[in-house]
């Protein structure tokens, strides 16, 4: 890898430094050219770092006197917390001192601050939240928007489709990503006006390889590379997926630990169970990208533990190394011009 510097909001999330510090050290050990800037209360961070003998000069601390609370309103955080760890970390990206920012903090405040400081790419009206999920076929599907915009217009969803397609092509090296629009049915007469109007935009455009509607129960079949929806529907889909994954895990534990015979069956099935758990491990998928901004911002789950937060940092590294915002900017400009010409 090339030299990459990541700024981390070390005070964000449910756990803060006790998770961020060890996660950062883990990733630094795996990436010898990586540099991390931990932004937060320097006294607390130094105290946490003192617990680890493997501190490196590739990790530095930048003091921040404030912290955005998890329940704080985005407007209040943006207006009054200019010295917060979140704001300073994003400023470092703006100033070119870091290639990306990672935070487990307040999602609304992070999006509002990133949008205000970094601005959106040319041709993009709104940033969106995108993340990947496992499928039956073994390759991931990317879904957006996962909650940045609860009220969208058709052109927003069209732009999300373009950005999602570009990311799938750049990160997953898929020449022509299959883009679907999430709907309550696959028939032409199904869906609300937002979905129907977006469908017409995508159908009559060559900007993406649009494959039509997809229902929620088909998302994880593996046919779709990108699934587009508004932020309200996307966030419900995300939370439902997380809840079902937890339910399946709990039901399996209950079934295998019911008695001695089921415990024996669990022991025999252990290799299969380990493989299943590895494929469905939510830690591997931690780290949602704020796509459409003039900089890389990765949102970790607020309750992420060390391994999960380390995965979010690694996603930021990939985004920065591959210059995703620049690639999206260039491709979006080309595709939107193509779309305008088609119309």
Q: Is the model's pLDDT at 219 over the cut of 80? A: yes
Residues 81 and 180 in one domain: no
Q: What confidence score (pLDDT) does residue 281 get? A: 65
Structure tokens at 18: 């006790």
Say if residue 120 is in the same domain as residue 166: no
190/118 same-domain check: no
Q: How far apart are the first and last CA of the chain?
A: 42
Q: Is residue 85 part of a domain?
A: yes
Mean per-residue pLDDT for 38-54? 93
Q: What is the pLDDT of residue 271?
A: 75
Section 278-297 average pLDDT: 84
In a domain, 65, yes or no: yes
Query: Is-contact 190 161, C-beta < 8 A?
Result: no
Check whether residue 177 and residue 40 sit in a common domain. Answer: no
Asked if residue 243 is part of any domain, the answer here is yes
Predicted local distance difference test score (pLDDT) of residue 180 = 97
Q: Does the residue 340 lie in any domain?
A: no
135 and 221, same domain (yes or no) = yes
* pLDDT greater than 80 at residue 168: yes
Q: Do 243 and 188 fall into the same domain?
A: yes
The predicted pLDDT at position 63 comes to 97
For residue 53, what pLDDT is reported? 86
Query: Quick check: is 337 in a domain?
Result: no
**Whether the predicted pLDDT of 278 surpasses 70:** no
Strands 4-9 and 100-103: parallel
Per the structure block, which two tokens stand in for 334?
A: 């080309």
| Co-location of 303 and 278 in the same domain | no
pLDDT, residue 341, reads: 61
3-state secondary structure the chain: CCCEEEEEECCCCCCCHHHHHHHHHHHHHHCCCEEEEEEECHHHHHHHHCCCCCCCCCEEEEECCECCCCCCCHHHHHHHCCCEHHHHHHHHHHCCCCCEEEECCCHHHHHHHHHHHHCECCCCCCCEEEEEECCCCCCCEEEECCCCCCCCCHHHHHHHHHHHHHHHHHHCCCCCCEEEEECCCCCCCCCCHHHHHHHHHHHCCCCCEEEEEECHHHHHHCCCCEEECCHHHHHHHHHHHHHHHHHHHHHHHHHHCCCHHHHHHHHHCHHHHHHHHHHHCHHHHCCEEEECECCEEEECCCCCCHHHHHHHHHHHHHHHHCCHHHHHHHHHHHHHHHHHHHC
* Alpha-carbon gap, residue 230 to 190, rounded angstroms: 16
Instruction: Starting at the earlier edge strand, list the strands of the sheet with 296-299.
Output: 59-63, 34-40, 4-9, 100-103, 296-299, 288-291, 128-133, 141-144, 226-228, 178-182, 209-214
Query: Is 305 a member of any domain?
Result: yes
Residues 31 and 150 in one domain: no
Total domains in the chain come to 2
Residues 216 and 201 grouped into a single domain: yes
Distance of CA 2 to the CA centre of its chain: 22
213-237: average pLDDT: 95
Query: What pLDDT band is residue 276 in, cutting at 50, 70 and 90?
Result: low
Of 4-13, 87-96, 258-267, least confident by mean pLDDT is 258-267
Higher pLDDT, residue 189 or 288: 288
CATH number for the domain spanning 215: value is 3.40.718.10
The burial of 217, by beta-carbon neighbours within 10 Å (0-12 exposed, 13-18 middle, 19 or more buried), is given as exposed
Boundaries of domain holding 269: 128-282
The answer to whether residue 336 sits within a structural domain is: no
> What confidence tens digit (pLDDT) does each residue in 112-129 have?
999 999 999 998 999 999
Q: How many CB atoms lie within 10 A of CB 267?
A: 10
Report CA dihedral (322, 328, 334, 337) to the nearest 10 degrees: 180
305 and 175 within one domain: no
Q: How confident is the model at residue 340 (pLDDT cuts 50, 70, 90)?
A: low
Q: Which of 38-42, 136-140, 281-285 has the lowest mean pLDDT?
A: 281-285
Do 90 and 234 lie in a common domain?
no
Q: For position 273, what pLDDT does the model report?
A: 67
pTM over 0.85: yes
Q: Which of 134-143, 146-155, 301-310, 334-343 has the lowest mean pLDDT?
A: 334-343
Contact 18, 298 (CB under 8 A): no
Same domain, 9 and 113: yes
Helices 231-256 and 260-268 sit at what angle, rounded to 10 degrees?
120
Band the pLDDT of 24: cuts 50, 70, 90.
very high
On whether residue 330 sits in a domain, the answer given is no
């Amino acid at each position: 890898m090339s030299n990459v510097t990541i700024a981390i909001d070390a005070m964000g999330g449910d756990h803060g430094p006790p998770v961020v510090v060890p996660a950062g050290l883990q990733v630094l050990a795996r990436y010898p050219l990586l540099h991390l800037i931990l932004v937060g209360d320097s006294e607390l961070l130094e105290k946490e770092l003192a617990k680890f003998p493997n501190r490196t000069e590739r990790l530095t601390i930048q003091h921040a006197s404030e912290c955005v609370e998890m329940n704080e309103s985005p407007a209040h955080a943006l207006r009054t917390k200019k010295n917060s760890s979140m704001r300073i970390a994003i400023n470092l990206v703006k100033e070119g001192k870091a290639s990306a920012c990672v935070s487990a903090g307040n999602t609304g405040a992070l999006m509002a601050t990133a949008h205000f400081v970094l601005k959106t790419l040319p041709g993009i009206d709104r940033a969106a939240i995108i993340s990947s999920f496992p499928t039956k076929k073994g390759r991931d599907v990317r879904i957006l928007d996962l909650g940045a915009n609860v009220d969208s217009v058709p052109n927003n969803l069209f732009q999300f489709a373009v950005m999602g397609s570009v990311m799938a092509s750049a990160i997953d090296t898929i020449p022509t990503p299959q883009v679907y629009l999430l709907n309550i049915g696959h028939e032409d007469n199904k869906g609300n006006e937002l979905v129907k109007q977006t469908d017409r935009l995508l159908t009559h455009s060559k900007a993406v390889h649009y494959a039509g509607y997809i229902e929620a129960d088909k998302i994880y079949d593996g046919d779709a590379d990108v699934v587009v929806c508004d932020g309200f529907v996307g966030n419900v889909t995300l939370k439902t997926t997380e809840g079902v994954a937890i339910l399946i895990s709990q039901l399996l534990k209950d079934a295998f630990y019911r008695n001695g015979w089921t415990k024996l069956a669990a022991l025999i099935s252990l290799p299969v169970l380990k493989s299943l758990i590895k494929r469905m491990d939510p830690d591997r998928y931690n780290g949602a990208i704020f796509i459409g901004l003039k900089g890389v911002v990765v949102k970790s789950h607020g309750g992420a533990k060390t391994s999960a937060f380390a995965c979010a940092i690694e996603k930021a590294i990939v985004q920065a190394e591959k210059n995703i915002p620049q690639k999206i900017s260039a491709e979006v400009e080309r595709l939107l011009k193509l779309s305008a010409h088609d119309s």
